[in-house]
Amino acid sequence: MSGLQIASYVSVLFFVMVIAAKMIKIARMPVHLRWDLYPIPHEKGRGAYGGSYFEEVDWWTKPKNFSLFSEVKEMAKEIILVKSVYEHNKPLWVFSFPFHFGMYSLIGFIGLLAIGAIMELAGVSVSALSLSSFGLVVFYLTIFCGTIGWVLGIFGGIGLFLSRLLKRELRVASAFSDYVNLLFLLAVFGVGLWSWYTADQSYTATRAFVQSWLTFQPATAQPAAMVVQLWVTVALLFYFLFTQMTHMVGKYFTYHRVRWEDEPNIQGSKIEHAVQAALGQTITWSAPHIKTGGTWAEAATATEETSKDD
């Protein structure tokens, strides 16, 4: 087994472990200060106008009318279409949307490579000459997702880099790492496009590598451009974990635990226990109105008593 294969196994394993650890860490954090920002999409029949089940008389005695579809649809608009950027900064969206959509296309590309590799292991041809209609679909869809992913990623990445560099309002808000991250991703997209154009336009060699990867078998010799692409991808998996790009991990929690969390805080509920646990947290900083070493419950009580005295 080549050093490239070993490095790819290590990078993927490390990536999954770190991402899982980050998600567990966030999930175990104390209860947040809920925003309860309306409209909340999962309010079935009320989300459109910003209504809430709190409108109901004796709402605590009635079941909630929850719409998972509406919630998923709203998240899809933000994650896939970058809705908030479109609404607040359309010139930036022109580059942000293709950049993100290019990355999503490449995630789909990796998934299609894995599906194609498994199909070929099962004896189903994935090629332009395949007798299987599903094999043909996977073959051409893989080419489409991979190629469009590299192109959109490059276009969007260059646009975002130049926007941060040339627009003052973005430049003053950008850290050095923001430029490095974009350049690193541009290198990955550029090498990927170069490898496709010069060495593997049908992604047959790439699919063969994935097949050997899935079966833990030594890979056949790959074109030089493809070897460079795979090494750059391995490097990206390691680099990604030490950047703010891991903000993707927080998407679920940002929406479900902060923006749209409207579970009532009633006696004996999980919310009540979570709030009580948060109030028991020790304060590790101080200010004129806060004493270090105490609990948040003590601080809240002291603040309330002080307000009464005033």
User: What pLDDT is recorded for position 24?
Assistant: 92
Considering the entire predicted model, what is its pTM?
Answer: 0.83
The one-digit pLDDT tens for each residue of the chain (310 residues) are: 788 999 999 999 999 999 999 999 988 888 887 666 778 888 888 877 888 888 888 887 888 888 888 888 888 888 899 998 999 999 999 999 999 999 999 999 999 999 999 999 999 999 999 999 999 999 999 999 999 999 999 999 999 999 999 999 999 989 999 999 999 999 999 999 999 999 999 999 999 999 999 999 988 888 899 999 999 999 999 999 988 888 888 878 888 878 888 888 788 888 888 888 888 888 888 887 777 888 888 887 775 445 445 4
Six-digit token string for 166 = 């040339």
Check residue 40 and give its pLDDT.
84
Q: Residue 135's pLDDT is what? A: 93
Whole-number pLDDT of residue 36: 65
| pLDDT value of position 208 | 93
Angle CA(16)–CA(160)–CA(247) in degrees, nearest 5?
30
